[in-house]
Structures are given as C-alpha cells and as structure tokens.
A and B are shown apart, each in its own frame.
Chain A
Amino acid sequence: MMSQNILTIKNLHAAVADEGKEILRGIDLTVNAGEVHAIMGPNGSGKSTLASVLAGNERFAVTEGEVSFQGMNLLEMSIEERAARGLFLGFQYPVEIPGVSMASFLRLAINQQRAFRGEEPISSGDFLRLMRQKSEIVELGDKLMNRAVNEGFSGGEKKRNEIFQMAMLEPKLAVLDETDSGLDIDALRVVATGVARLKRPDNATIVITHYQRLLDYIVPDVVHVLYHGRIIHSAGKELARELEERGYDWLIREYGDNA
C-alpha cells in the first residue's frame, strides 16, 4: 500500500528576490507520511534556502517548478496558511521577540491556526496542560514559559524551544533547519530524542544538517545530498556515515554540476 504523500517538489527553482541570483536550480523531492528525510550538503549548497522557500520566506522568489503539500499548491499559500495547514520550520537562528511571553505567543499561534481551520480556540486549562506535557519532551520544564520568546535563551535553549513549539503545534511536516548546529552533545541528545518521540505514521520530517552526528539519534529513511541548488544523490541512511568519513568531494566529482 502506498503511504500518504505529504510533500512533492518538482523542478523547483528559486532566487534571492532582490538580486535575482538563482540558488535553487531544479529540486525534485517526494516525502511521504511516516518518513524522515535528511538533507545534507556543503555550505552554500542551498539547504537553508530550500527550507525558507518551503516556509514562504519573502526574501526568496520561486522562478519555476511546483510544490504540492498534502495535495494542495503550497506556493499559492501565505506564510501563516502554510503553518496552519501543518508546515513547521525549525529555525536555524530562532528569533527573539522582546516583551512577548512564550505562553502568549504559543497560545496566539495555536488559536490562529485553529481559527484558520474553523476550530474553536483552546481553553486556558487545556493550553496549560498541553504546555506542561510537551515541555517534558524537550526537558524544558516551566522555566522558559514566562520568559519572552527566545530572549536571553542560550543556544541550546533556543533549539530545544524550537522542538517544543513543534510538539505544541503538531505539524504534518516539520522542516528542521540545522537544528543541531551549535549544540553540545547533551542538547543534541535532547533535541534528537524529542524529534524521534514526535514521529508518527501520519507526519513527516525533513532534517537539514551539516553533520552526521544528529543522524545517530534520528534515523533517516533517505539521505539526500544537495549541491549547487540541486539534489545530486539520494541513498539510505548509510550514506550519512560515508559522507562523514569521505566528505562531499567524491560525490560532487561523480554526480555534481555536469547535469
């Protein structure tokens, strides 16, 4: 039986909106429910741009191609509509929002998503229960809940906070943009275990990473190598270890740039 399709990207081209410089040069990718995909690649290959384009970041303009998200045209949706329909981006650099508490931020996010889907707002009691329950997943406790969003958080706390938000919002597709970068081994374990615990048969995850070490905890079904704006090679999880040992050069020589 074919599992449910979550994301299909066909020949996606995207450029920096202001400069017209093309960064994605024909991406093809299919992600089905229950799968974890890892996207790896050297610096500047377009990994973060792909995440930004999926989220709808206005810094980038799609110049060609199609993206279907649960059967709908993702590229026609606003940023918030993508989120309400179940797309979550774990930021590489989570943004600080001074004066806005985590609790009021998340409650507004949940309620706006619910309103978009025609659902009732969450009650205070349910919201508090949900916060308590989900904060355990990333071992955050209550201490960050009354603080302003990401303000004064350490690097590790910011990344754990991303996973916490993912747990609260229960997306269909989570795109984690270098969530592992800058983490010590303990924080890495917490983040990775959190992601693994949120995995369900009806959702999917794309993990963008530079290092193989995250993939010791989150076992991907497929590993893709992005180079110069295209996926040049896809293989099973063993590819990640091979990349760690041999680097990217051999792949680039074999598959890169000539297509």
Chain B
Amino acid sequence: MDSTLKERYRYTPKDRLAALSDGGGELFPTEIETEAASCLYKKDAAAAAEIAKLTAGSEHKMAGDPLIAANLAVPDTKTQGVQIDLPDNFKAEGILYIHMRYPGNGDKAARYVQRNIIRAGRNASARIAVYHHPAVGAAETRATIDALTCIEAAAGASVEIIEVVETRAVYFETILNRQNRDSHVKIATIDLDNAFLRRNQFVSLREPGSECNLEGAYITDGTQYCDNYIRMHHAAGHCTSNQLFKGVAADEARAIFTGQIYVARDAQKTVALQENHNIVLSDGARVDTRPQLEIYADDVKCNHGATIGRLDPEAIYYMRQRGIGLEAAKRLQIEGFTGEIIDHSRIEELGHLLHEKISKRLQNI
C-alpha cells in the first residue's frame, strides 16, 4: 500500500481487511427484495468490468483500494445487486425500497458480495431506501458483507438515498458518487448495530452547480467498530457539499470519522461544510474524528467542526425533574442527538419508523 492508502486505512485492523478475501468464508447470495411504486430497476449485479471502467483513472486511487479490489475480484456470477436506470426526465414516484437479507451459512463463516449501480439521467429523480437486515441466527458474527455502489448523476438529476445498516455482522461498503452539472445527491446512512463497519464514500463533483449532502448517524456499543470515511472532491467551481455525521459510542466501542474535503485549484466559489459530533458514554469507548481539508482554490467557503463530548448533565437533571427516570432521560437525549439526521431526511415516510428503531436500539445500551 502506498502512503495515501495507508492513511486511508490507518485505524482499520489488518485481520478485518483479510475477511474481504477468501478468509471471510464461502460466498453466499444476498437475498434481495424490492418494492417500488414506479421505478426502473433490475435485480442484477453490475458487472465488474463496467465498474472497473468507472474507477479507472479516477483521482481517488481507486485501483489500489483494497475494498474495491476485493469486491471486483469476485466473479459476476457470484455477486448480487440492484441496477437502477432512470431515463432522462424520469421522476420516480414514491420510494424504492430495497431489502438486503443475509440468510447465513449455518454456523460457518459466510461472505456476501454486492455490486449496485444507480444511473440517474438528465433531470431524473428518485428516492431510494435501502435496509440491510440483521444477518440470520448463529451466522451473524461470522458474516462478512461487501457492498459496492456506483452512482452516476447526470445534469440536473436528483437522487436521495437513505440506508439503514443493522447487520450485526462485518460490513464493508464503498459508494462511488459522480455528479454532473446542477445535480443533487443526498445520502443518509444510519449505522445501527454492526460488529464491524467500514464505509468509504468517494464523491466527485465534476461540473459546476452540483450539490452533495452526506449525513450519517452511528450507534455503537460492546466491542463494535464503526468507521466512516469520506472523500469529497470538488473538481469544478460553484459546487456545494455538506457532511453531517453524529455518533454515539458506549462500552468498549470504537467510532471513527474521517472527512476529507479536496478543493481543486480551479474550483472557485466552492462551499464545503463538514460537521462531526460524538457522544462518548463510557471511559472505555473511543472516538476519533479527523477533518482533512486540502484546498487549492482561493475563493472558497469551507467550514469544519468536530466535537466529542459526554451527555449534558443539566439536560438530564431537567428531564428527571419532570419525572423522567435517569435511564430514559439519557436515552431521550441520545435520541434527540442522533434524531437530527433522520429529521433532515426528506423521506418523511420513514421518519417515524427510524426514530422507533433508534429508540429500540438504545434500550440495550
């Protein structure tokens, strides 16, 4: 690995990366279920050759990236996925729901490899909700999931994705997002309950006027590990990006956020914002937050903010004075903290459900 890649995987334990190869167990198919009112898609993995074309010559050192390399090394016949093709001017009504299920391999290790492509034509729009279900039964801690998704947003396209990851397993994900003029992409990731999670999001704002919003919430406890890595590449001027990630770490859990913002020399009038806020619930938990800004243009607006803190004792006192028990008060505060990510989502239909999911998850913390 060269120094860029070394830095990218600085905190990732080596044995976890090994699970991406044959060490992660026998390959098993992901069971995919889709529900859509009107949307054009097929349940078929994207071909490795096609994705390789997208990653070739990219500015993100894709070729050598171990997640991408491992994913593309798996034969097409052994992978699953969804391909969504939105023709020009196609406005998908409602939400396309995608369920990813992991049925397991008895008590043996199992590996699941996915390749997805979302192509949004000019002025097309769609809203997509992806739910990664808990891996089944005894397999949950012995399952490794490796998902790769390419998003191509043509001029004026609008794509909103909300992804809930609750696999209890080892979960790797790469999202490659390339955007053209005046396109809007929003991706919200809700990482609820995963033994190990590493997600890379590589965004390329290639033409003026494009906007990308990445938001995420993560909840970790026990010995869980949750690592979100972002590279936001402003290649053209007049583009806007936002990153807002909020997380909670309890027990001996480990949460990491790395947010790179790269503004190319000609990308004037860039607006790039980044915030990462964390609550640490125990002395044994650890959170790392790494803002990394590389700015080569001189007329830009870039802000970043990061905090790692504890629960607010004043707020807990206030809630208890109103009759709310100590544990419930703590949970309510955490729900409020992470709930912002859900409330920001314009997929309102899911809001209630997700608030409930978080609430249920926090019962065990």
Residues in chain A within 8 A of chain B (CB atoms): 55-58, 78-80, 82-84, 88-89, 91, 94-100, 104-106, 108-110, 112-113, 116, 148, 165, 169
Interfacial residues of chain B within 307-364, with CB under 8 A of chain A in the complex: 312, 314-315, 317-326, 328, 332-333, 335-340, 343
Question: Which has the most chain B C-beta neighbours within 10 Å: A55, A79, A89, A100?
Answer: A79
A105 and B340 within 8 A (CB):
no
Q: Which residues of B contact A84 (CB under 8 A)?
A: 323
Q: A79-B317, A97-B318 are in contact. Are A109 and B337 (CB under 8 A)?
A: no
Please pick, from B321, B339, B340, the residue contacting A83 in the complex, using a CB distance under 8 A. B321
Q: A57-B317, A91-B318, A97-B318 are in contact. Are A112 and B336 (CB under 8 A)?
A: no
Considering only CB atoms, which chain B residue lies closest to A80 in the complex? B320
Q: A55-B321, A80-B320, A109-B319 are in contact. Are A95 and B340 (CB under 8 A)?
A: no
Complex formed: what's the CA distance from A165 to B325 in Å? 17
Please pick, from A57, A78, A112, the residue contacting B328 in the complex, using a CB distance under 8 A. A112
A98 and B324 within 8 A (CB):
no
Complex formed: what's the CA distance from A57 to B317 in Å? 7
Q: A80-B323, A108-B332 are in contact. Are A99 and B318 (CB under 8 A)?
A: no
- Closest 9 pairs (CB-CB, A-B): A99-B336, A100-B336, A83-B323, A113-B323, A109-B322, A79-B320, A95-B318, A99-B339, A80-B320
B318 and A109 within 8 A (CB):
no
Q: Which residues of B contact A148 (CB under 8 A)?
A: 336
Please pick, from B315, B323, B340, the residue contacting A97 in the complex, using a CB distance under 8 A. B315
Residues in chain B within 8 A of chain A (CB atoms): 312, 314-315, 317-326, 328, 332-333, 335-340, 343
Question: Which has the most chain A C-beta neighbours within 10 Å: B315, B320, B323?
Answer: B323
Complex formed: what's the CA distance from A58 to B318 in Å? 12
A-B contact pairs, 14 of them (CB 8 A): A79-B317, A80-B323, A83-B323, A94-B318, A95-B314, A97-B318, A97-B332, A99-B335, A99-B338, A99-B340, A100-B336, A105-B319, A109-B323, A112-B328
A100 and B323 within 8 A (CB):
no
B340 and A112 within 8 A (CB):
no
Q: Which residues of A contact B314 (CB under 8 A)?
A: 95
Complex formed: what's the CA distance from A169 to B318 in Å? 14
B323 and A112 within 8 A (CB):
yes
Please give the distance in Å from A150's CB to the nearest CB on chain B: 9
Please give the distance in Å from B279's CB to the nearest CB on chain A: 12
Apart from A97-B315, A99-B340, A106-B322, what 17 extra A-B contacts exist at CB < 8 Å?
Answer: A56-B320, A56-B321, A57-B317, A78-B320, A80-B323, A82-B321, A91-B321, A95-B312, A96-B315, A97-B318, A98-B336, A98-B337, A100-B336, A104-B332, A108-B332, A113-B323, A169-B322
Please give the distance in Å from A96's CB to the nearest CB on chain B: 8
Q: A95-B314, A112-B328 are in contact. Are A100 and B320 (CB under 8 A)?
A: no
Considering only CB atoms, which chain A residue lies closest to B318 in the complex? A95
Q: Which residues of A contact B317 (CB under 8 A)?
A: 57-58, 79, 95
Considering only CB atoms, which chain A residue lies closest to B317 in the complex? A57
Please give the distance in Å from A57's CB to the nearest CB on chain B: 6
Please give the distance in Å from A86's CB to the nearest CB on chain B: 10
Please pick, from A83, A104, A165, the residue contacting B320 in the complex, using a CB distance under 8 A. A83
Q: Which residues of B contact A56 (CB under 8 A)?
A: 320-321
Question: Which has the most chain B C-beta neighbours within 10 Å: A96, A109, A113?
Answer: A109
Q: Which residues of B contact A88 (CB under 8 A)?
A: 321
Q: Which residues of B contact A58 (CB under 8 A)?
A: 317
Q: Which residues of B contact A82 (CB under 8 A)?
A: 321
Considering only CB atoms, which chain B residue lies closest to A58 in the complex? B317
Please give the distance in Å from A174's CB to the nearest CB on chain B: 12
Please give the distance in Å from B277's CB to the nearest CB on chain A: 10
Complex formed: what's the CA distance from A109 to B320 in Å? 8
Complex formed: what's the CA distance from A56 to B316 in Å? 13
Q: Which residues of B contact A110 (CB under 8 A)?
A: 323
B324 and A112 within 8 A (CB):
yes
Considering only CB atoms, which chain A residue lies closest to B334 in the complex? A99
Please give the distance in Å from B313's CB to the nearest CB on chain A: 8
Considering only CB atoms, which chain B residue lies closest to A148 in the complex? B336
